[in-house]
Amino acid sequence: MTIRLRTAFFIGLGIIILWFFYIERTILTPFILGAIFAYVLNPVINFITHRIKLPRTLSVLIIYALIVTAIVMLGTILTRQVLQESTELRKFTSNIVPTLYEQINQLPFWIKPEAQDLLNSFVKSKFLTSSSIIVLFPRALSGFFGFLVFLFSGFYFLKDGGKIFEKLAVYAPREYKVDIEILFRKINSVFGDYLRGQIFMIFFVSTVLFVALTVLGIRFALILAVFSGFAEIVPIIGPIVAGTVAAVTVLINGQVNFGLTPVGGAITIAIVYTVVRQFQDYFVVPHVMGRIAKLHPVLILFAALAGEHIAGILGLVLAVPAAAAIRLMLEFFLNKINERSYSANK
């Protein structure tokens, strides 16, 4: 009876904690990002600690110094091109608005009002007004504070993450302690491998598409490539949307190398995105992501959309590994039920 009461207590406590986290999900963002950061870099820290025999705190500080240096160097290289493309994109957007109004006037009557309302809302948005700087200042200050929280939380997750689990494992029932440790290690592996694989996919897609778009002479190549890389977070739909945006950009802009027409350039872009997608599906995904989630594609898409609806972009990122973790827990409990049933019948 005592074990049942303790189990019920921990289940109730877990529900209350999850409910509290859901209510306060807006302030959890930097902590969750710090945990993701720790998941991604934990193997590197373990390698430095165990192989090179450096203290864990010193290892974390070394990795932090290397990452900050890399960000500064990469930012210095890319900032000029990003600013240049952003300025061109803003001018391009301003120049294309009159053309879009003319095109909307030629649309059928049943869709014209919706298209006009959509374009009007975009034109009147704060993105196109100088007053947006005043609005963005508090957000920038809040973002800077969140970044500091992210750095501190990431540091302590990397430094003491293993100890946190060891302290929690003390409260597990003795007869289930080994099984719970095994289950936790599986869930930990799923989260770590998935997040590292996702980051690799973003970097891979962004790099390959930036090279391809630059060779083709497409304007806004860097912005489109980075957008396409991060679109990989959304299963199935993300790559399709990214390819469509790139093809439409070529159609509207009309600037393509090798003497291609805008239509030919859009078709070429569609082919490039398809080839990159197929290369991922047949060569990259099976080796990087294939053994991680083990979920049906429809379930992966549903989990991603549900995660985005519940917690925004973080929910979108964490939905698939969370679904895989739920699968592992269900398998664990079903196996325990089957073992008890077998023992009882025996």
Same domain, 167 and 229: no
Of the ranges 224-228, 321-325, 334-338, which is most confident? 224-228
> pLDDT band for position 17 (50/70/90)?
confident
Same domain, 325 and 178: yes
Lowest mean pLDDT among 1-5, 165-169, 172-176: 1-5
pLDDT at 234: 75
Same domain, 227 and 288: yes
Assigned domain for 107 exists = no
Same domain, 137 and 249: no
Of residues 109 and 61, the one with the higher pLDDT is 61
| Last residue within a domain, chosen from 119, 145, 171 | 171
Torsions phi, psi for 5 (to 5 deg): -65, -40
pLDDT at 286: 59
Same domain, 236 and 264: yes
Assigned domain for 3 exists = no
pLDDT at 211: 92
Same domain, 67 and 196: no
Same domain, 183 and 76: no
Count of domains forming the chain:
2
Assigned domain for 124 exists = no
Q: What percentage of the chain reaches a pLDDT higher than 70? A: 67
Q: Decide if pLDDT at 141 tops 80.
A: no
pLDDT at 13: 76
**Cβ-count burial of 62 within 10 angstroms (0-12 exposed, 13-18 middle, 19+ buried)?**
middle
Q: What's the whole-number mean pLDDT along residues 41-49?
A: 86
> pLDDT band for position 208 (50/70/90)?
very high
Cβ neighbors of 340 (< 8 A, separation 6 or more) are none
Assigned domain for 72 exists = yes
Same domain, 340 and 195: yes
Q: How far apart are CA 270 and CA 277, in angstroms?
A: 10
pLDDT at 82: 65
Structural tokens at position 8: 């019920």
Assigned domain for 287 exists = yes
Q: What's the whole-number mean pLDDT along residues 81-97?
A: 64
Assigned domain for 227 exists = yes
Same domain, 75 and 219: no
Domain that holds residue 159: 27-100+130-171
What is the rounded average pLDDT for all residues in the chain?
76
Same domain, 146 and 235: no
pLDDT at 174: 72
Same domain, 150 and 32: yes
User: Three-class SS string for 80-94?
Assistant: HHHHHHHHHHHHHHH
Q: What percentage of the chain reaches a pLDDT higher than 90? A: 3
pLDDT at 29: 80
| Last residue within a domain, chosen from 171, 188, 204 | 171
pTM exceeding 0.85: no
Same domain, 184 and 284: yes
Q: What's the whole-number mean pLDDT along residues 29-45?
A: 84
Assigned domain for 331 exists = yes
CA atoms within 13 A on the CB side of 120: 6
> pLDDT band for position 127 (50/70/90)?
very low
